[in-house]
Structure 1
Amino acid sequence: MAGPLETEIHNLLTNSFTPNHLEVNNDSAMHSGHSGDDGSGESHFTVVIESEAFSGKSRLERQRMVNRALGDIPGERVHALAIRASAPDDKK
């Protein structure tokens, strides 16, 4: 079951990018007791997203777009966020 922060991330990205594919993976359990683990169970995430919005954008631009869409979540409410953003026309 998704926690409130995981659900918020999913909803923000869905509303911002209308993705063809979206995975929001909570990796927090793998970092239990490590730096950045705040005990909430929602401190580390991986986002895998594919959207037309990323067509023609560099990897850095895509990451910035995702970070902007998430507002204060990266770096303030989440310790670590890995982003794999792609466009449908990217070579697989």
Structure 2
Amino acid sequence: MRTDIAPGSKSEREALVLETDDGRVLSVRRRGGPAYGIDESVEGASLAALAAGGGSRVALTGTVLAGTLLADAWRPIGLQGEAAPDDPPE
């Protein structure tokens, strides 16, 4: 989903965020994409499209730096509450 990041600061902006399975909230951007504003690239649009379906489960690969996930690859894996294909049955 998109939400405001750093409200009240010089860095205030709307950004794509995700909540990890362990409860952390990270802003997400495509590695090589703009730090601020909308990523107009095809890759950026596909990442934003996944986020538009809030509550979706997404598998992302990348690097976490200072609360930001720099995403290298991503794919949908189902809706929130569904087991991911790699998750063991409960």
Instruction: Give the TM-score taking structure 2 as reference length.
Output: 0.28
Instruction: Give the TM-score taking structure 1 as reference length.
Output: 0.27
Q: Which has the higher strand share?
A: 2
Ranked by relative contact order (alpha carbons within 8 Å, sequence separation 6 or more), the top structure is 1
